[in-house]
Chains A and B, each alone.
Chain A
Amino acid sequence: MPPREGTYGLLAEFDNPSDLVRAARQAREDGWRRMDCYTPYPVEEAAEAIGFHRNKVPLVTLVGGLMGLTAMFALETWVSVLAYPLNIGGRPTYSWPAFIVPAYEWTILWAGLSACFGMLALNGLPALYHPLFNAPNFRDGATTDKFFLCLEALDPKFDLLEGRAYLESFQPTSVVEVEY
């Protein structure tokens, strides 16, 4: 794929989360779909405002946890019943209460790892490059105290001039054009 060129989108900067949420909600209502919010800390209402209701991390975590549970329980059963049956205090070889603890630990371990790496993968990370970092105010503010709304050029409604005027109607601190 040839390198992308041209405009990535228009980036509006806000001073507080309330204004960002209001702008994002309005933009979604006006038919914008390719857009994203960037905040220094998780703002759940911003995610809801742009129509982002659920992600797949819980599912990945659940599947990971169940895999860990099954794998360890099966391993223990195989070792104790088939591969190396031992008589421990006259107990049956299939002594499930004793298998629970390692199986539980593996459930936690695998659920945790799946949540962590699943989240990174679903976020598209690690990413070596993102066009938004071309905007100086984004570099300085996105992780400290500024709230951003980006209307992306991929949206069919996108037009450089109209989009800028549209964003300015929300009275942001600034609107800048971001290049790829």
Chain B
Amino acid sequence: MAHESHAATHAKTLPADLGAPAFVDGWTKRALTVGAIFSVVAVILALLGQSQDQLGWDHLLRAWVLGLMLTFGWSVGGLALLMVQYCTGGKWGLLFRRPLEAMSRSLPLVFVYWLVVVIAMKKLYLWAQYTSVSDTAAALQAGLINEVQQHCLDFKRPMLNPVTFTWVGLLCFAIWAFYVWRLNSLALQREADKAGNTPYWIKKLENISGPGIVVYSLTMTAAVIYWVMSMDPTWYSSVYGLLFLVGQGYSVLAFCIIVSISLSKAEPFKTILRQTEQHDMGKLTFAFVMLNIYLAFAQFLIIWSGNLPEEIPWYLDRIRGHWGIIITLDFIFHWLIPFSMLLSRDIKRNKRRLVRVCQWMIFAKAFDLFWLIEPNFKDAARNLHFSWGILEYVAVPVAMVSFWVAFFCTRLKTRPLVQVNDPHLAEILEPEHAQA
């Protein structure tokens, strides 16, 4: 067969060493340095903020939730994309599977981040501050909360109270940890097994991942409702979990593209990262950019159309008092810029430019979370104003993300970067014009 012999002569071969390149250690060091510097900056800002408006430490904690949501999005969203990959199959799995596994194994750090929220919940959540009917009545008397808040706090207390918050969180982390452990250990067993058994492993991982995606959707919805949405106890939106789910896809894909393109400066990713798959990943990211604005706008349109007093204040808190500037910028940063950039085929096929777009998307995600989190609090709702504390939204997430990246890099080092027992390996080593 002329074709096969030709394909064989043109195919690339994998390098002998499939481990992560040495410069990953450099990333760890750099991330730790940045993390340390920004931790110091965060503490200084908190002290400055404290002397300015007594809210320095509060702002540090609010920004902490932003950092938690970003790193949680990568860790658990990474787990979810890993499960999606096992269900869909495809060559992109060879590029993303090991980075995604490493992201999912960063869960312990996210758990530590979450514990800080548990300890400090009184400063973040009204329902943690006022835990009984008499508490809310007294707070209303003192003018600390309004009647709507009092009603909602009392009505929602079976769900929104410190004990339930902690137990739901622990349960969610236990479920995610189970899936992380299961998928990561089975992937190693698959590698150690004979190549002939690969179809069995593909089926097995698929059977775990399918239900896993459903479980993930439910648990992460519960988590974001407790961690972020309940900062405003008066408001609810049924699309909230889905918004964060799509947001996780958005930031996970951006992060994975950055990682695999950065790894492709050396073996083994130099050999397996082809332009075709890079282009495909750019297209998938584009789909998430679209879906993200679709859901965000759908929520806005429904609440705007309804114009009900239970729902509309949440948006008014985030539009009036100069917050309109932030939501406009959010629209531009979060959707318009990535959308316009990713429309271009040339950018999707250019390594350096695609990395720039993905970095921008991660920044935009953080910006969007700022808009979601900060107006929940009385001092900031309908009143965007500068204080030292606002700068915490830069310092704290940068520090937390840096420590998370450092942890991620150490996880990445623990395994070979390419799975050899994969039916797509032969295809990805072929020249790009070889398949339909």
Q: Is the CB of B433 within 8 A of A46?
A: yes
Compute how far the CA of A44 lies from the CA of B301 in the bound complex, rounded to whole angstroms.
42
Q: Is residue A45 contacting chain B, with contact meaning CB distance below 8 A? A: yes
Given A21-B433, A44-B432, A100-B297; A16-B2 close (CB under 8 Å): yes
Q: Are B432 and A18 in contact (CB under 8 A)?
A: no
Residues of A contacting B345 in the complex (Cβ-Cβ under 8 angstroms)? 58
Q: Which residues of A contact B307 (CB under 8 A)?
A: 89, 91
List residues 57-106 of chain A with CB under 8 A from any CB of chain B.
Answer: 58, 62, 89, 91, 97-98, 100-101
Q: Known: A89-B307, A100-B297, A101-B301. Is A18-B10 also a contact (CB below 8 A)? A: yes
B7 CB within 8 Å of chain A: yes
CA distance A58 to B343 in the complex (A): 9
Give the residues in chain A near B142, CB-CB below 8 Å: none
A62 CB contacts on chain B under 8 angstroms:
343
Is there contact, CB below 8 Å, between A17 and B433?
yes
Task: Report yes or no: B6 in contact with A16, Cβ–Cβ below 8 A.
Answer: yes
User: Which B residues are CB-close (under 8 A) to A43?
Assistant: 433
Residue of A nearest to B432 (CB): A45
A97 near B3: Cβ-Cβ < 8 Å: no
Nearest-neighbour CB distance to chain B for A26, whole angstroms, equals: 15
Nearest B residue to A16, CB-CB: B3
Are B301 and A18 touching (Cβ within 8 A)?
A: no
- C-alpha spacing A43/B436, complex, angstroms: 7
Task: Look across to chain A and name the residue whose beta carbon is closest to the beta carbon of B9.
Answer: A18
The smallest beta-carbon distance between A61 and chain B, in angstroms, is: 9
Kindly report which residue of chain B lies nearest to residue A145, judged by CB atoms.
Answer: B3
Most buried by B among A16, A21, A101: A16
Within 8 A of A (CB), among B422-436: 431-434, 436
- Interface size of B by CB at 8 A reads 18
- Whole-angstrom CA separation of A44 from B434 in the bound complex: 10
Q: How far is the CB of A81 from chain B (nearest CB, A)?
A: 18
A15 CA to B1 CA in the complex, in Å? 10
Q: Give Cα A41 to B436, complex, Å.
A: 6
Tell me how many residues of A have a C-beta within 8 Å of chain B.
20
Hey, what's the 0/1 contact readout for B323-348 against A, CB within 8 Å counting as 1? Answer: 00000000000000000000101000
A100 touching B301, Cβ below 8 Å: yes
- Cα separation A18 to B430 with both chains bound (whole Å): 11
Contacting residues, chain B, for A16 (C-beta < 8 A) = 2-3, 6-7
Contact (A98, B305) CB under 8 Å given A16-B2, A19-B6: yes
Cα-based distance from A45 to B431 in the complex (angstroms): 10
Bound Cα distance from A97 to B433, whole angstroms: 46
Report which of B6, B300, B343, B432 forms a contact with A97, defined as CB distance below 8 A.
B300
Chain B min CB distance to A114 (Å)? 14
- List of A residues within 8 angstroms of B431 by Cβ: 18, 45
**In the complex, what's the smallest C-beta–C-beta distance from A58 to chain B, in angstroms?**
7
Interface centre among B3, B297, B433 (most CB of A within 10 A): B433
Residues of chain A within 8 A of B434, CB atoms compared: 17-18
B178 at the interface (CB under 8 A from A): no
Whether A98 touches B301, Cβ cut-off 8 Å, given contacts A15-B3, A16-B3, A89-B307, is: yes
5 tightest Cβ-Cβ pairs between the two chains A and B = A45-B433, A41-B436, A16-B3, A17-B433, A43-B433
24 intermolecular pairs with C-beta atoms under 8 Å apart? A15-B2, A16-B2, A16-B3, A16-B7, A18-B6, A18-B7, A18-B10, A18-B431, A18-B434, A19-B6, A21-B433, A40-B436, A44-B432, A44-B433, A45-B433, A46-B433, A58-B345, A89-B307, A97-B304, A98-B301, A98-B305, A100-B297, A100-B301, A101-B301
